[in-house]
């Protein structure tokens, strides 16, 4: 169970979780372990393993087999199992209310709740930077948004004007800048050339995670923030990248995605 800021998994006896009780509910409704397993998203074998494990630890039967009759027999919950299921439903409701109450308390702490909201976003973009909007330049079609990071660096993003208006971006508003590692190019020597890319963050190589084909190179910026770049292994060798080496992370403004709370 989860909300915007808090999440928590309820377990009974350290092992009876939502998956187990979903199986019990499905079994109570269908009277068939095979059907209950499908309903709960489990294999038949997996369902039996869960049930057998719980039954072995209980001091009284949780299941009983019904043979013959109009329904053709099946499996049903005992009174003990129904009591366990009822306790789970009650505790689940109370657990949900507890999380809501704690979220309400967090909302009274703007700094902490703001930090948690920034950290709660789930995305495949490796690089995520929190900052505040420094400037917004709206054009007829496109907009340029500059986000000031707490490290002192700026990140510039290009988007449609409609997107900037939809996000209600304005100076001083909190925002996240997201950049995929594959969109970041590393430069170790400009040799007197200048690049058109708006974003150029100089830092020090602090870690290299080498893979079969490519490596993830992590740069630590002067303010302490880190940025990751996906570089082919040949590129790592050609640039002579190693921990402690100086490099600049370069990425275009249109490679930056911006997220903001409404």
Average pLDDT across the chain, whole number: 86
Domain 181-251, CATH: 2.40.50.100
Domain 125-179, CATH: 2.40.50.100
Per-residue tokens: 4: 């915007």
In 3D, which of 259, 67, 46 has the Cα closest to residue 167?
Answer: 259
Percent of all residues in the chain with a pLDDT value above 90, rounded to a whole number: 52
Say whether pLDDT at 171 is over 60: yes
Say whether pLDDT at 3 is over 90: no
pLDDT tens, residue by residue, 209-234: 999 999 999 999 988 889 999 999 99
- The pLDDT value recorded for residue 2 is 46
Domains of the chain, residue spans: 18-106, 125-179, 181-251
- The pLDDT value recorded for residue 1 is 44
Mean pLDDT across the stretch 54-83?
A: 78
Q: Which residues pair with 230 in a beta bridge?
A: 216
Per-residue tokens: 24: 């019990």
Say whether pLDDT at 141 is over 60: yes
pLDDT tens, residue by residue, 182-211: 999 999 999 999 999 999 999 999 999 999
Is 181-251 the same fold as 125-179?
Answer: yes
Domain 18-106, CATH: 1.10.10.10
């Amino acid at each position: 169970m989860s909300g915007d800021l808090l999440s928590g998994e309820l377990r009974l006896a350290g092992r009876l979780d939502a998956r187990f009780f979903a199986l019990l509910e499905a079994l109570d409704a269908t009277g068939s372990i095979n059907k209950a397993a499908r309903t709960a998203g489990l294999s038949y074998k997996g369902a039996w393993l869960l049930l057998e494990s719980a039954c072995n630890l209980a001091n009284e039967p949780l299941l009983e087999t019904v043979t013959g009759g109009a329904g053709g027999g099946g499996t049903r919950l005992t009174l003990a199992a129904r009591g366990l299921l009822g306790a789970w439903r009650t505790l689940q409701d109370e657990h949900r209310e507890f999380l809501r109450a704690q979220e309400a308390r967090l909302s009274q702490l703007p700094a902490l709740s703001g930090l948690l909201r920034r950290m709660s976003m789930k995305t495949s973009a490796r690089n995520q930077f929190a900052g505040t909007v420094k400037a917004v330049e709206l054009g007829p079609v496109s907009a340029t948004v500059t986000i000031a990071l707490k490290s002192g660096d700026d990140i510039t993003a290009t988007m449609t004007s409609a997107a900037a208006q939809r996000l209600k971006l304005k100076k001083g508003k909190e925002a996240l800048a997201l950049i995929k590692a594959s969109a970041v190019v590393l430069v170790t020597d400009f040799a007197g050339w200048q690049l058109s890319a708006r974003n150029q963050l100089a830092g020090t190589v602090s870690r290299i995670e080498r893979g079969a084909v490519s490596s993830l190179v992590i740069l630590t910026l002067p303010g302490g923030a880190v940025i990751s770049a996906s570089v082919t292994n040949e590129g790592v060798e050609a640039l002579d990248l190693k921990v402690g080496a100086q490099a600049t992370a370069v990425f275009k403004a249109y490679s930056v995605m911006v997220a903001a709370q409404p």
